[in-house]
Each structure stands twice: as C-alpha cells, then as structure tokens.
Amino acid sequence: MTALHVHNTMTRRKEKFEPLDPAHVKMYVCGPTVYDDAHIGNARPVVVFDVLARLLRRLYPKVTYARNITDIDDKIIVRAAERGVHIDTVTADTIANYHADMAALGALPPDMEPRCTRSIPGMLAMIETLVDKGHAYAAEGHVLFAVASYADYGKLSGRSRDEQIAGARVEVAPFKRDPADFVLWKPSTPDQPGWDSKWGRGRPGWHIECSAMAKDVLGITIDIHGGGLDLTFPHHENEIAQSQCAHGGVQFSKYWMHNGFLVVNGEKMSKSLGNFFTVRDLRARAPGEAIRLLLLKTHYRAPLDFTDEGLRQAKLNLDRWYRLLQISDALLDSSQKEADRLNPMDVPPDILRALCDDLNTSEAIARIGEFIVDKGYRHHRDGNLTELRMAADELRSAAAMLGLLQVNPEAWFKQTLNATGIPSRNSFGSSTIGNTKPLEVHMEEYEIDTAIAARLAARKAKNFAEADRIRDDLKAKGIVLEDGPKGTSWKRDG
C-alpha cells in the first residue's frame, strides 16, 4: 500500500502522514468569510482539499472533514450597510452562492460546516480559559491575546518576535501591551451584531473562531489543518497560539498544509487588488469540471496562472476523456454497463501513488492522459473491445479520485453553460479571461434534431452545399456535428 506523504508547513518538508488515530482522520480547512461571491482563488483550496479528503477516505476507514463559514466579520457588517439589508441577508445569499459554486466545481460538501455565529459559546469559553491562564487580558472592552506569553509564537511562519515588530505596518492600538497582541473579542456598538459576555456585549476577533470551532467539532488535536498560503501568518499562527495555550500546550494540528496562489498576468489574484474572477462568472464560460481540472493541473503548492487558454485546454482535455467513455459506452449494451457499475474498478495504482506524493495531481492527470486515455484509444483503434472497456473503467475510477468525469458523456457534450446573465458584483472586465462569451442563441434539442434531419435529406440528395450550409449554421449557434457510422451526433461547443 502506498504511504501518503504531505508537505508540512510547520517543518517545511515533505513528511510521511501518520494520523493520530488511523481509525479516524480529522481535517480542518479555513472556509470563506461570506460577504462576497467566491473568486477562483477562493476555489483553489476548496478543490485541493476536496481531493485530499477523497484520498484520505480511500486510505482510511473514517475521515471527518470540517470547513467553517465565517459569518460574522466587519467586512460583512460593512457590506450589509452598503446594501441596506440585514447582515443575515448578506450571509445567507453569499452562502447559497458559495454552495452552488463549489458544487459546480465538483467539490463534495464537507462533513461539517461550522458557523461562527453558532459557535460563540465555544469561543467565549476558550477566551475565558486564556484569560484565566494569563495568556489574554481585557482592555477597554477588548480582550487581547498576549503574544509574549507564548514562547513558540512565530514558529509556523518562521518569524521572530523582533521581525514582527519591525515589520508591523498598522498603527498599534494604545491599549495593547505588546504591538503583536491580537484581538480575541471586541466591543460592538448597539447597531452592530453582538453577543453578551463577561467583557460586555461584543463580537469575536478574526482568529478565535477557527480555534474554537475546530475544537468543538473535531477535538483538541487534529491531523491536518489547511488553507491558503496567505493564512499562514497571522491567522494560523494565531490559531496555534490560542489553541495550544488554552489546551496546556497540547498540539493543535499535526500537519499544516497551504495551497499556493492564483496569479493573473504574474500578479497575485486577490480581492484587495481587484484583479479576480468570480467562480460564477467563470461558470458561464466553461463547465465546472473544466475549471476544476485547470485548478488541479498545477501542483497545489505552486503558483497557478489562470488564463483563458488554460481554461480552453482543460475543456479540450475533458472532451477527449469523455469521448473515450462515450465510445466505450456506445459499444456496450445497457446490461453490460449496469454490470460495470456493480463492480467498479479500484483506483489505478499509478494514480494513487501520484496523489500520495503530496497530492501530485499534475502527475496523476498526466498519467491519466498518457497511460489510460491513450491506451483506451489504441484499443479502440485495434478493435480490442474488452480492453477498451477496461480502459474506460480505469479512466472513470481514476478521474473519480480527482472528482472529474462525474456526469455521463452525453450530458457533458450537450450541456449548456451556466449563463445566468447576472454578472457578479465584482466581475473584473479588463482581463485575459472572458474572451469566450456565452452564446446568445440557445437551440433546443428538437430544433437541432430537425436541422440534422434536413441536412441528412440534403446529403442523400447529394446537395452538399445545402448540407454544409445547415452544418455551418448550427456551428454558428454553437452546435458541432459529427458524422459517424451510426449516424450524426451533435455536441454543444460554447
């Protein structure tokens, strides 16, 4: 059996993954702050850790994967004020969009999705413990974590205390004992959301939520804590400080995994720079699986340049994969297909080996293309139907590990993109993404069938000019025809 190895940010090297309890693996990933639609950079960790969760489930009998939703935050309060609605409206809308977007990318829901607003008691309990143990103090309605009380502070991100102070670029609140101290609890004005506490009515700071929720749903020590690279400091550093100080120094997470950034034209894609694409916009330009494949084609720790050309290629790759399944399916009768489903092939060893090597999805995808898809087409050419069918099965199970090839081939080729016509609030116009616009003409299937029949008649009459005219007309409307031995089939090609 292949042993899983993962890169641990804490040690900065690849380590063998040895769960605390092989009978129950626990993973926590930082989820979104729900004030705005998810952009593709937010989607990367979701897809990456979705693959990791699938892999862990394949390797261990029980896996609990928790991903939180931060639904109380100043950005949300600001957004609600801007829109003139209640904060709950902002969070409910955003969460609904988030779930729809992530589902479109083929990400399975996490086992648990704790929300801050429902975890306040846990946070207050942890804050109280920290105060009692001398790791936190109250000042002017705030409760702050005393960084000086934790000797290992800075270990995850590899920075010393001096450096932090030298690098501090924000004004230090006067009530802080130490410039590096961070807020656990802060006071709310009457018009701001708040909860009663022994330090007055207020709301949690940014970092305490994850510490408290991880403990609530997974326990004191977890196996893997994941998130984007930019969370390493200060967010995860602070989580470690809070959790380990509250729990008498007991380790918070055994492994820390961070995904790299998406870049656009060489620059980090981020909300603060404004150079981002929402998942919702991209869904109108490419199928969710194509977006997912593009995200997985680059190793998760490497920077990923997200481009139109990349999206186009990912779509082409999937077309080729689905085509093989379609060919295989067409050669089998329904009873055989049913038998396949009853006896799914296990994940090909090469694929498993690649994923076990610190989630090397790039290599897994390369091997799928090279050794499975190519092989399948070779068997097709040579007329080896049994081998073709085996290759198709292999492809299905390999792709399933990556969350790909999850629809049937017919549906894939005939799908219509998610053209809601509603641009996201922050869509970014002047970019390399977006050259492929959704088609304005949408043809219903019966219209297509009618056109195909007309073309067939023209072909029979050797009126090829008319036949080609019909084909060109369909092409202009995004319908591509393919003449095969069993007649003409079509696909949408947005």
User: Which residues in the 180-199 window bind RNA by CB under 7 A?
Assistant: 180-182
CA distance 94 to 471: 42
Beta carbons of 135 and 141 less than 8 angstroms apart? no
Residue 152 in the binding site for RNA (CB under 7 A): no
Tokens 């708040």 locate to 194
Beta carbons of 338 and 286 less than 8 angstroms apart? no
| Site stretch for RNA (CB under 7 A), options 82-90, 195-203, 341-349, 459-467 | 459-467
By CB under 7 A, the residues from 385 to 404 that bind RNA are: none
Residue 380 in the binding site for RNA (CB under 7 A): yes
CA distance 352 to 361: 10
When binding is defined by CB under 7 A, the residue of 61, 84, 484, 487 that contacts RNA is: 484
Q: Shortest CA distance to 273 belongs to which of 260, 282, 264?
A: 264
Both structure tokens of 66: 């928790």
Q: Closer CB to RNA, residue 20 or residue 454?
A: 454
Residue 262 in the binding site for RNA (CB under 7 A): yes
By CB under 7 A, the residues from 43 to 62 that bind RNA are: 44-45
Does residue 292 sit in helix, strand or coil?
A: helix
Q: Closer CB to RNA, residue 9 or residue 221?
A: 9
Q: Work out how close the CB of 449 gets to RNA at its nearest, in angstroms, rounded to a whole number.
A: 16
Q: Work out how close the CB of 83 gets to RNA at its nearest, in angstroms, rounded to a whole number.
A: 18
Residue 381 in the binding site for RNA (CB under 7 A): yes
Q: Work out how close the CB of 279 gets to RNA at its nearest, in angstroms, rounded to a whole number.
A: 12
Burial of 375 per CB tally in 10 Å (0-12, 13-18, 19+): middle
| Site stretch for RNA (CB under 7 A), options 103-111, 242-250, 390-398, 476-484 | 476-484
What is the enclosing helix (H) or strand (E) of 144?
strand 142-145
Residue 122 in the binding site for RNA (CB under 7 A): no
| Site stretch for RNA (CB under 7 A), options 118-126, 217-225, 249-257, 367-375 | 367-375
Instruction: Give me the helix-helix angle, 40-59 and 385-401, nearest 10°.
Output: 110
Beta carbons of 458 and 302 less than 8 angstroms apart? no
When binding is defined by CB under 7 A, the residue of 185, 255, 256, 261 that contacts RNA is: 261
Residues 69-108, mask of contacts with RNA (x by CB under 7 A): ------x---------------------------------
CA distance 404 to 368: 11
Residues touching RNA, count (CB under 7 A): 87
Rounded to a whole number of angstroms, the CA Rg of the chain reads 26
CA distance 373 to 382: 14
When binding is defined by CB under 7 A, the residue of 3, 108, 302, 454 that contacts RNA is: 302
Residues 155-184, mask of contacts with RNA (x by CB under 7 A): --xxxx--xx-xxxxx--------xxxx--
When binding is defined by CB under 7 A, the residue of 30, 104, 391, 395 that contacts RNA is: 30
Q: Closer CB to RNA, residue 172 or residue 250?
A: 172
Burial of 436 per CB tally in 10 Å (0-12, 13-18, 19+): middle
Residue 303 in the binding site for RNA (CB under 7 A): yes
Residue 459 in the binding site for RNA (CB under 7 A): yes
Residue 263 in the binding site for RNA (CB under 7 A): yes
Q: Work out how close the CB of 196 gets to RNA at its nearest, in angstroms, rounded to a whole number.
A: 25
Both structure tokens of 434: 């977006």
Residue 153 in the binding site for RNA (CB under 7 A): no
Residue 316 in the binding site for RNA (CB under 7 A): yes
Q: Shortest CA distance to 296 belongs to which of 347, 231, 369, 233?
A: 369
Q: Closer CB to RNA, residue 252 or residue 276?
A: 276
Beta carbons of 286 and 38 less than 8 angstroms apart? no
Regarding beta strands 262-264 and 267-268, do their DSSP bridges make them parallel or antiparallel, or are they unpaired? antiparallel
When binding is defined by CB under 7 A, the residue of 129, 192, 270, 406 that contacts RNA is: 270
Residue 320 in the binding site for RNA (CB under 7 A): yes
Residue 323 in the binding site for RNA (CB under 7 A): yes
Beta carbons of 237 and 10 less than 8 angstroms apart? no
Buried b (16+ CB within 10 A) or exposed e, 89-119: ebbeebbebbeebbebbbbeebbebbbbbeb
When binding is defined by CB under 7 A, the residue of 142, 186, 283, 299 that contacts RNA is: 299
When binding is defined by CB under 7 A, the residue of 228, 348, 409, 478 that contacts RNA is: 228
Burial of 28 per CB tally in 10 Å (0-12, 13-18, 19+): buried
Q: Work out how close the CB of 244 gets to RNA at its nearest, in angstroms, rounded to a whole number.
A: 18
Q: Work out how close the CB of 305 gets to RNA at its nearest, in angstroms, rounded to a whole number.
A: 6
When binding is defined by CB under 7 A, the residue of 206, 252, 255, 277 that contacts RNA is: 206
